[in-house]
Chains A and B, each alone.
Chain A
């Protein structure tokens, strides 16, 4: 079974600075999808960014980008120019054929 590990339970960053959240996963599959989801205090899960494993180019979505290292099974999220509204739980997720597994999450606090 696939497992997803987020080794940073909590992180904080100053507004306007950059922060990187770590994620590693374990799988024997070669084709799969990876996601980062954000869950603010409202409880609503919001997709931040996705990466197809067959693509070598790292996904980017405005201030959010990933560093996908397939051989190392690593999928970190970089948030640039952090904003107060980025304060949330961030979950890394692995998906293969509809089966999605989540990490335990990283609680990010952006400080003014």
Chain B
């Protein structure tokens, strides 16, 4: 079946512009995660959606970052007034059940490489 998809795969933007990154999770997965991965670094947790519950936004680095998940499926990560330090790969992952008794594996998308010039 289809995996997690993300678009665009690459995005170059000018400092100060807003960008939107999209994630399509695996159908039926109730949990969705966003991570940021700077060059050669590990994954930094940004935000987590679980079903209809309020999202865990504890990882968002500033109020310029926000995310939505519409209809419990597609998610959009928005970065306003982009800065050069926002340059990174943004990874999205989904899992069947983030906090329950089911499988806990996260399935990752290919990521969006964001470059702020």
Contacts and interface: CB of A to CB of B under 8 A. Distances in A.
Contacts of B104: 33, 50, 95, 98
B11 to A, nearest CB: 14
B108 A45 contact: yes
A103 B91 contact: no
Interface in B72-117: 89, 91, 93, 95, 98-99, 104-108, 110-111, 113
A97 B91 contact: no
A43 B111 contact: yes
Interface size of B as a range:
20 to 34
Interface in A27-69: 33, 35, 37, 42-47, 50
Given A50-B105, A97-B99, A45 B48 contact: no
A102 to B, nearest CB: 4
Nearest to B89: A43
A56 to B, nearest CB: 19
Interface of A: 33, 35, 37, 42-47, 50, 91, 95, 97-105
A44 B110 contact: yes
Interface of B: 31, 33, 35, 41-43, 45, 48, 50, 56, 89, 91, 93, 95, 98-99, 104-108, 110-111, 113
B48 A47 contact: no
A92 B95 CA distance: 17
A100 B106 contact: yes
Contacts of A45: 91, 93, 106, 108
A44 B50 contact: no
Nearest to A104: B42
A105 B42 contact: yes
B99 A102 contact: no
A29 to B, nearest CB: 13
A102 B43 contact: yes
A50 B105 CA distance: 8
A109 B89 CA distance: 22
